[in-house]
Structure 1
């Protein structure tokens, strides 16, 4: 790895040295913004995508410093440790063809290490997600992270977020302010999903069965996802409303 780091510095020197006799443009004279190195990556399957995204940000901030594909690959490999370093050093030493193209290297690394949830798996986890013992901030961050990997429409996301919230929140005004800060530029505001104080969610004894729970039959994660995507009520399956304002649910209690 020490040899690879030395080679990385040599590649940087070559790409950063101006051609003799060629004046630098004003843009080239301007220093590139500082970029912190991402934390070392040890092969953790749940953080591979985040690590590579951070590397892409470094390349975007300092395009002159990382001007070649091979230099980008070398930079990423110097940030690997553990099992990640074992793989990176092996493919570099073997002269793998994808080490000359960062996108190909990224694809190979993702194929090997990335196990982050996406698509149907993310949607299934989102359908089962509940605030539970988490703070509202922690719940909102986890929800938004999973939502970014789903293709649900905004109405379904609002409904699902509200379904997962605890209803024993003492200070709703403070909660709305915190949620507004979490998603100030989102096309839908998280605080808009909260139930109104003037219309609290109906409370019912735990012993009373709800329509979707009759006979101890509950909606599966797939059935919940299907209803959410179609904009249907999770309680009765009807359209035009969600479970919190379901007329059948109100009549049942």
Structure 2
């Protein structure tokens, strides 16, 4: 019960927690409650609006996803503050006048969105590392076999 997330990411905390939990002999409900107890306050605050009666694996997955989103949002805020304090960098020549400021460049349009938007680099990388579909974000398939993409294009 003394294990805490502290300054670590939820993913790092969960690895340490699972290692210790495997030797505890506690049942799954007790492990889930101990995991929730050790989370940092900012994660607990976000979990208030979610169902935490999930299994330990479900709670860990939810907490990791929330932590990734919170960290991404913090980076976005910092980048926004930086962009407001500095003018966009020039790339030189006539092309620079028509160029997009840093942070607003897009690789591919994100599916299922209107207009020209894209997944953030962090979200794209997270989905790739987690073997999630780049179109809908679900597990079990890739963009080439995405049922949501197929429905959207019918």
> Taking structure 1 as the reference length, what is the TM-score of the superposition?
0.24
> Taking structure 2 as the reference length, what is the TM-score of the superposition?
0.37
| Structure with larger Rg | 1
